Amino acid sequence: MAPIRLMTTRKIRPSGAEIGDFASRVLEVVESIPPGRVMSYGDVAEFIGVGGPRQVGRVMALWGGGVPWWRVVHADGSLLPGHEREALRHYRREGTPLRIGADGKPGRLDIATAHWPAES
């Protein structure tokens, strides 16, 4: 199967790595999440009907740089470790609902409001 063509200028796969059907499907779902909305890793796997959160996470780690990766989140709404600042920039620009922590800073996403209920 040929790699999917994404509308991006970023490199989305490591050299020599072939993208499979599962990975293509994950990336297609991620691209379909509207701005300001999110799905958990488990939601993506459930929508596709194959794999689980860890498998989706692996796809995102390898090939997710060319899709809106910040829209795939932990089920508890916690910010992605190591990517907090960049993700927050995207969330603020897109108007993604955030929960403010006791320190007055965004601590996690408001999953109840931001969740995209993609029905298969």
The pLDDT score that the predictor gives to residue 106 is: 85
The pLDDT score that the predictor gives to residue 17 is: 57
Per-residue pLDDT band for 18 (boundaries 50, 70, 90) equals low
| 12 inside domain | no
The pLDDT score that the predictor gives to residue 101 is: 85
Tell me the mean pLDDT in the region 83-94: 95
| 78 inside domain | yes
| 108 inside domain | yes
Tell me the mean pLDDT in the region 20-47: 96
What total of structural domains would you count in the chain? 1
pTM for the model: 0.80
| 9 inside domain | no
Where in the sequence is the domain holding 73, given as residue range(s)?
A: 21-114
Q: Which residue's structure tokens are 């809106």?
A: 68
Q: Please state, in angstroms and as integers, the Cα–Cα distance from residue 103 to each residue in 43, 61, 80, 87, 106, following that order.
A: 30, 30, 19, 19, 9
| 110 inside domain | yes
| 1 inside domain | no
| 31 inside domain | yes
- CATH no. for residue 57? 1.10.10.10
The pLDDT score that the predictor gives to residue 118 is: 47
